Amino acid sequence: MEQIETKNNVDSTQTDDTSKKITKKDLLLSWFRWWYANEIPHTYDRMVAPSLLFGLMPILRKIYKKSEDLKEAYKRHLLFFNTQAIWGGGTILGITASLEEERAKKLNEGKAEEALDPEIINSTKVGLMGPLAGIGDAIDSGTVQYILIAIFLPWAKSGSALGALVPWILFVALTFAYGFYFTQLGYRLGRTAVAEIVSGTRIRKIIDGLSVLGTFMMGIMAALYVQVSTPLKWTISGKQFVLQDILDKILPGLLPLLTVLLVYWYFSKKGLKIVQVLLGLIVIFVVLGFIGLL
């Protein structure tokens, strides 16, 4: 009888320990909460820290047994925090969950002196939020978004509402999917996850591939939707010469290409001053059109 009771007690303890471990389902819930609430409780003094805490709350409630430890964790994650939602937020969310789990394990065992220092958790977040935000903005907003827009732009041009809706839907789905992957990666690898993202072979190949694809798509968009031509023509010895035909024989789309390169050069020298460029192009094209060059 005593052996049976001992066995039951061991099984009960094992079940309790297992229930405190962070599962893939826990990470998905936390990621969804962070992703959903990312900009909702945005404040000037804390930025998106309330969103991070909202995402971590289910995990923190699960791993901390004592209410004072849980309150301390809540306060810790209400400190200033700001980063890009997908690459930065997903990775840091996973890393933070891993560090909190490590600290909670020692506290729950009554080994407070061996527990991970809370300053390490906070300094890790602060140290990573800037670099990862730069990567995320460049890839998500600067590459993926415009690739999807370029693919479905013909639909929008033909008058279909799907040309506006489908890129947005795909962008949301894609960023949510690989954001959750970064969350799992951050949890699994801890602080070394950043090295995997920044210099890892798989991620590097994805980034390089997106960059090449983005360059191709921008070139295609420039060729299809930047339409610049010249009506200039002249007659020599009874033979008519059309400048646009001559340019097309040299390089089709030469004038649109030169226009894009001119805009790119201006941006590289003066910064991303879009309104100035638009006004400048209008003035240039009006003048050239008035004198018959375009």
- Residues 260, 199, single domain; the answer is no
SS3 47: strand
Would 6 be classed as within a structural domain?
A: no
Q: How many residues does the chain have?
A: 294
Report the range out of 155-164, 190-199, 240-249 with the highest average pLDDT: 155-164
Compute the average pLDDT of residues 177-185.
91
In this structure, of 26-30, 59-63, 86-90, the range with the lowest mean pLDDT score is 86-90
pLDDT score of 25:
92
Would 7 be classed as within a structural domain?
A: no
* Whether the predicted pLDDT of 19 surpasses 80: no
Would 11 be classed as within a structural domain?
A: no
Q: What is the DSSP letter of 168?
A: H
- Look at 283 and 68; give whichever has higher pLDDT: 68
Compute the average pLDDT of residues 55-74.
92
- Residues 252, 198, single domain; the answer is no
pTM (two decimals): 0.65
**230 close to 243: Cβ distance less than 8 angstroms:** yes
Compute the average pLDDT of residues 71-97.
90
Would 256 be classed as within a structural domain?
A: yes
What is the domain extent for residue 277? 230-290
* Whether the predicted pLDDT of 193 surpasses 60: no
- Residues 171, 268, single domain; the answer is no
Q: In whole angstroms, how far apart are CA 22 and each of 72, 92, 227, 277?
A: 19, 16, 56, 52
pLDDT score of 206:
58
SS3 291: coil
Last residue of a domain, one of 216, 243, 261: 216
- Residues 40, 172, single domain; the answer is yes
Q: In whole angstroms, how far apart are CA 28 and each of 59, 84, 226?
A: 11, 18, 43
Q: How far apart are CA 179 and CA 269, in angstroms?
A: 34
* Whether the predicted pLDDT of 224 surpasses 80: no
pLDDT score of 141:
77
**Tens-digit pLDDT profile for residues 105-136:** 888 888 888 888 888 888 888 888 887 877 77
Per-residue pLDDT band at 222 (split at 50, 70, 90): low
- Residues 168, 250, single domain; the answer is no
Structural domains of the chain, count: 2
Last residue of a domain, one of 216, 244, 268: 216
199: which 2 tokens?
A: 């210099």
